[in-house]
């Protein structure tokens, strides 16, 4: 049977920092802009479980976190380090399953193609111990025959646990959980569901399908299937081929410094290239998106003449688009950047070798710099 081991590193940024500062283990540690240094506008990026015990959580304003846990040690974020360690985790996991799919900087779904439950569980324990002893990282793992269920199980295993959900227990496992446990159900959907009297996954099974459809649209069918214990069908996007892949970074503080922004952009290029390579995807369109500190957005993209997939092309194209955005809309207006993103679209699975494709890519200076440019402003 096919099993998925869903690996999620606990308090990832904090755990990365604790590798360099082992003396802080077991104490409240927060990664984010230190409010004691006057950086009162930012948010918490990651908090150790000892800090969470005081009510600190990620995305919380730093001033509030400081009030809740004045004794915490604050550490500045080092995204290069986190990218490097994320790479270590992926390299560690890849040979330990038939397919290792990274789903975020600190989450990997590891598929075991044809194993029984005891084998999958034993593998999960080995991986958890290995991550701890070799990479010095704590992880929570979910083990299930469905990837979504494995992800939900990894959440329930936090921190430092392993939760296995055998196929015949999926429905019972999911029933008492909040609808928020389902990936894809955000606060807004949860709110609409609550208004309709649906707060747990069990409520889903009892609700009339028509009412569900009215609340969550076409997604309802998949949710009902999941609540009944059936694996989620491969999404239509998977079948038709993926439409786009992105990498985005919300900055700790709004930044107006060009070198820092270029460094972030380079990291995003590397991250996106890696995930495209792992999925065997080539791209034809690159788009750079910026969300400014005033919450307006700018986005520019360019479609290449042929499919590409190497980091050089993506990075060069992203850098060019970014330079245009910065020169025209950032610098002259003294704007600060809040979020940066790179999207690769017009994706094709597999295809001829990257080398032969690269030769056809038109990234010479003659090409028009942007085919699509768009600036959105909130009403
Ligand atoms: Mg995590």
Query: Residue 242 has what pLDDT?
Result: 56
Q: Which two tokens mark 35?
A: 């409010």
User: Would you say how long the chain is, in residues?
Assistant: 379
CA dihedral (97, 102, 105, 106) positive or negative = negative
> What is the chain's Cα-based Rg?
22
Give the Å distance between the CA of 15 and the centre of ligand 1: 10
Query: Residue 331 has what pLDDT?
Result: 81
Q: Give the per-residue SS3 of 185-233.
A: CCHHHHHHHHHCCCCEHHHHHHCCHHHHHHHHCCHHHHHHHHHCCCCCC
Query: Residue 306 has what pLDDT?
Result: 65
CA dihedral (276, 277, 279, 284) positive or negative = positive
- As annotated, the active-site residues are 107
Helix 79-93 and helix 12-20, axial crossing angle in degrees, nearest 10:
100
Query: Residue 264 has what pLDDT?
Result: 85
Give the Å distance between the CA of 373 and the centre of ligand 1: 35
Q: Give the per-residue SS3 of 284-351.
A: EEEEEEEEECCCCEEEEEEEEEEEECCHHHHHHHHHHHHHHHHHHHHHHHCCCEEEEEEEEECCEECC
Whose CA is closest to 302, among 349, 352, 350, 361? 361
Give the Å distance between the CA of 13 and the centre of ligand 1: 9
Taking only the tens of pLDDT, the chain with its 379 residues reads 999 999 999 999 999 999 999 999 999 999 988 988 876 667 788 999 999 999 999 878 899 999 999 999 999 988 889 888 988 999 999 999 999 988 778 899 999 999 999 999 999 999 999 999 999 999 999 999 998 899 999 999 999 999 999 999 998 999 999 988 887 677 777 888 888 888 998 888 888 877 777 777 766 777 777 777 776 554 433 334 457 888 888 776 777 777 778 888 888 888 888 778 777 778 888 999 998 888 788 888 888 766 665 556 788 889 899 999 988 888 888 888 888 999 988 877 654 333 333 322 222 233 333 333 344 444 4
Whose CA is closest to 110, among 156, 138, 147? 147
Query: Residue 353 has what pLDDT?
Result: 35
Give the Å distance between the CA of 159 and the centre of ligand 1: 9
Give the Å distance between the CA of 158 and the centre of ligand 1: 9
Give the Å distance between the CA of 149 and the centre of ligand 1: 16
* pTM as predicted: 0.65
277-315 exposure pattern, b = at least 16 Cβ within 10 A, e = fewer: eeeebbbbbbbbbbbbbeeebbbbbbebeebbbbeebbb
């Amino acid at each position: 049977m096919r099993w998925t081991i869903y690996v999620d590193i606990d308090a990832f940024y904090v755990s990365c920092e604790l590798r360099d500062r082992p003396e802080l283990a077991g104490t409240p540690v927060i990664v984010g802009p230190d409010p004691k240094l006057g950086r009162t506008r930012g948010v918490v990026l990651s908090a150790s479980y000892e800090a969470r015990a005081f009510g600190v959580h990620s995305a919380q304003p730093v001033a509030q976190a400081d009030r809740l846990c004045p004794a915490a040690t604050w550490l500045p974020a080092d995204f290069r380090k986190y990218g490097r360690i994320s790479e270590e985790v992926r390299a560690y996991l890849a040979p330990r399953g038939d397919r290792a799919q990274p789903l975020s900087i600190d989450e990997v779904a590891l598929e075991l193609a044809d194993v029984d439950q005891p084998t999958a569980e034993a593998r999960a324990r080995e991986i958890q111990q290995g991550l701890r002893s070799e990479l010095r990282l704590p992880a929570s793992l979910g083990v299930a025959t469905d990837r979504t269920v494995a992800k939900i199980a990894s959440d329930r295993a936090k921190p430092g646990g392993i939760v296995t959900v055998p196929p015949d227990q999926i429905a019972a496992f999911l029933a008492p959980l909040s609808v928020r446990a389902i990936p894809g159900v955000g606060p807004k959907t949860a709110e609409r569901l609550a208004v309709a009297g649906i707060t747990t996954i069990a409520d889903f099974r009892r609700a009339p399908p028509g009412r569900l459809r009215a609340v969550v649209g076409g997604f309802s069918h998949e949710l009902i299937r999941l609540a009944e214990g059936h694996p989620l069908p491969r999404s239509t996007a998977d079948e038709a081929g993926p439409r786009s892949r992105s990498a985005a970074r919300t900055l700790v503080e709004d930044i107006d410094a060009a070198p820092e922004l270029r460094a972030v952009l380079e990291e995003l290029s590397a991250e996106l290239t890696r995930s495209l390579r792992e999925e065997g995807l080539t791209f034809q369109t690159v788009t750079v998106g910026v969300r400014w500190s005033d919450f307006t957005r700018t986005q520019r993209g360019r479609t290449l003449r042929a499919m590409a997939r190497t980091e050089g092309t993506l990075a060069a194209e992203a850098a060019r688009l970014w330079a245009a955005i910065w020169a025209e809309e950032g610098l002259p207006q003294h704007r600060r950047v809040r979020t940066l993103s790179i999207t690769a679209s017009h994706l094709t699975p597999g295809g001829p070798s990257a080398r032969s494709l690269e030769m056809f890519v038109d990234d010479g200076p003659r090409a028009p710099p942007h085919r699509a440019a768009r600036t959105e402003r909130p009403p």
